[in-house]
Every structure is written in structure tokens, then in C-alpha cells.
Copies of this chain bind each other. A is one copy, B any other.
Amino acid sequence: MQSELSKRIALEISGMPVIDPHTHLQHKTPSAQFIGNIFSYHYIRMELSTVGMDVENLMSENIPPDIRMKNALPYIPKISNTTTWWGFMTICKALGFEDDTIHEGNFQDLCDIAKETMQSEGWYKKALHNVNIKRSFLTNLPDEDLSGCDRESFVPSLRTDEWVLDIQEKATREKLELLTNSSITNIFDLKCAIRKVADKFVSIKSASMAISLPPNFLVFPVANGDADILYSKVLIGRRLNDDELARLQSYMIYSLFEICNDLNLPFQIMLGVDRKIHRKLEWDGFSTDLNMVKTFRDALNRFPKVKFVFSILNSILNHELAIYSKTFANCYFAGHWWYTFYPALIKTAILERLQAVPYPKLIGWYSDSYYVEWTIAKIKLYIKSLSNALAELVEDGYINEDMALKVAKAMIHDNSIEIFSL
């Protein structure tokens, strides 16, 4: 693989500006501060656990970050094949660590070097600058305080899961009432309150709404009258049955589509997570339901002005979602989410998308990271896969090298500027 052509393309792409349109960065603490915290990233934590480490020794608040690193040492050799481990070592090098392996003899050096770098003045800006990331989206809860946010680096995005998935929870309503200083006595009050929050996010230049949905989530039109009755039951504390809940949830997501339509807000929709499949450790997994893409047919037809920006957590439906992005002008395909963020899956997915879908419909990458350090690793990994895929298209004679670079720049930067009106 990595032919000369691929390396040349990778070098060019490494100099291009990047937008990161989905992260979980905390704008007040965008860096991990300690190498031990880098380990807490769920990708790698899961790998140490699966080879036998008691993650309490990694996660417990009582354990200082450097000791977490030390505790992990015996397990590191067992995870050294994964690309997540490659990402960890890539981070170490970016922080100034020069060894190729980590062991009893040098882990304290790593801790010290990492701490010095990550706690230095202006580190997070420098980290992002080094990989040309111009702006990173945040994931903001409705009541999140964004005062003091570095708005040059970070772009707000309103996360709306609770208004759909947790709509029958009392806490959802109470939080909205508090936030909007209103009283919610029926579903129309509820929608007004949500609209108020959305208006506020637009006023602070939020670039999108976002939501994460489970694999079996169904999206279909529900009449106002039906939703009104269902929400009345919620308000008097009655538990909805599965069918009722599905109807109310679908009504709510259609309400969000309407708001996106009114406010010209793109909707980032992430499909496929199964929450807490590991009961003790509360780790998430994924599975596939073959309706998860096609359930959006009605919405895609009904809201032609809303930009639906989909991501998907399985590899099986990459092809189908690519064809949807080709079919519907308002359907976009973004990134390689979570458990699909591995080079073989990324390269295959890129080829399937780029051969079938005009490139302005594709957002190539987002980091999904919790700390800027993982952002470094993840853009570097992506550039490898993207270069390999583009080189294959050039070598097979489908595009030339200039087009490859134009496509790359659009996928990591220009398209996000355009789609999210940045």
C-alpha cells in the first residue's frame, strides 16, 4: 500500500486546513493535562480491560494520573497491535517523547514530558495548529454555559438527544422549564421551550443541531393530536408503552426537523449506538437494524431545505447511506464514527463513497475526540487512509492527482465551511 503516490498525496493533505465538525472537547479543558488521562479515552481503556486489566486501576479518582500510566504498563504489550495503540504512540511523539516503546524504565519520563507539554501556556491552540485544525465543533447540552468559550477555535453545536430519547423523563421537562423560565403544560409549550433554546443557540452562532440514535429508532410522521394525548400522559406521570413512546419520540424528532427548517440549521444525525451493552462497565456497543437508513425516507422528502448530515456506526450500511447521499440533495455523509474508525474500514468506506457520490456531499472526517491530543492521532490516521484511497483512484485512472487533492481539501475543510455556513 502506501505507494509513492499515496505518500505524496498524504504530504499535500497534511498541509491543508481542516475543520473538525464533531468533537466532545470541553472548551474550558480541551487538553488531557496528564498522559494518564489520555488513557482514559474509551477506545484504549476498553482494550486494556479486554486483555485483563482492572480498569478501576485506570479510572478511579483516587489514583494519580501518573500511577494510572504505571498500572497499565503490564498490559501495554498486549494491545500494541491495534491502531488505537498506534494513535497513543503518535500522541506521545507529538508531546515530545522520543522512545518507540513504553516500559518501567521510561514511563516516568513520558509522564513528565507529557505534563510539561500539555500544561504549557497555549498548548491546546498549538496542538490544533500543528495539525492545521482551524475550528472544532463542540457538543453542547441545552443548558451548557458557553461564556468564556474560545470562539475562534470552537463552534457550538446543540445536542438534542434528551428531547427525543428522554422525552418521558420528568428531568427533561424540568430542565427545559428552568432554562426557558416557562411552564410546560402540554406538548405545544414543550415545543415552544425547545424552540427558545434553539433560538438562543442560533444567536450564539451554533452551527448545527446534533443527535445520536439507537439502531432500531424509527422516524415517521405523527399527528399533533396524537402527540398531544401522549404527552398529556407523560405529564401526569403515566409510563408510555413501547409503541406510544416510539410515536412520541418520532413526533419530537420531526419537531426538531421543523426547527432546523425554520432556522436553517443543519442536523447532524449519528446512527447506531447501543448504550451500555457491558453492564458492569457501562460501555457502549453497536448493532445494525436494516431499517436505520431507510426510515429517514419520509423526512428527507418532506424537508428538502434541511441538511441532514448522517454518520453511521456500522460498516454494513455504508453503501446504502452513500447511495442516499447521491439520491437526495439534502442528504450528506460524514466521517467514520467510533467503531468504524479503523484504517481498513475507512479506506473501503471512502472508496464506496467517492466512486458513487459527488464530493461536495461528503464530509470526510471528524475526530469525535474528548481531548485535543486524540485529535492529533485521529487526523493523522485518517490522512493515511484517505491518501491510500485517493492514490488507488488515481492509479486506476478514474481521477487525476489534481482532482484527488481538490477532493481531499473539500472533504476535510471546504465542505464543512459550506454546509455549516461557517
Contacts and interface: CB of A to CB of B under 8 A. Distances in A.
Interface in A343-377: 343-345, 348, 351-352, 354-361
Contacts of A297: 277
Nearest to A279: B301
Interface residues of A, number: 74
A120 interface: no
A1 interface: yes
User: When A and B form their complex, which 6 residue pairs have the shortest distance between CB atoms, in order from nearest?
Assistant: A344-B351, A342-B355, A79-B358, A279-B301, A81-B359, A83-B355
Given A286-B323, A314-B319, A352-B342, A78 B359 contact: yes
Interface of A is mostly: helix
Interface stretch (A110-118, A125-133, A188-196, A324-332): A324-332
Copies in the complex: 3
Contact of A278 (B285, B286, B301): B301
Nearest to A289: B290
A333 to B, nearest CB: 11
A361 B83 CA distance: 15
B277 A326 contact: no
A403 B285 contact: no
A319 B356 CA distance: 21
Interface in A263-299: 274, 277-280, 283, 285-290, 293-294, 297
Contact of A396 (B1, B50, B79): B1
A402 B293 CA distance: 42
Contacts of A331: 50
Interface string A60-101: 000000000000000000111111101000000000000000
Interface string A241-271: 0000000000000000000000000000000
Nearest to A315: B319
Contact of A344 (B78, B274, B287, B348): B348
A343 B319 contact: no
Contacts of A360: 51, 78
A108 to B, nearest CB: 24
A153 to B, nearest CB: 29
Contacts of A2: 395-397
Contacts of A319: 314-316, 339-340, 345
A49 interface: yes
A230 interface: no
Given A323-B339, A339-B356, 8 more contacts: A2-B395, A46-B326, A50-B325, A78-B360, A82-B358, A86-B397, A277-B327, A343-B396
B358 A320 contact: no
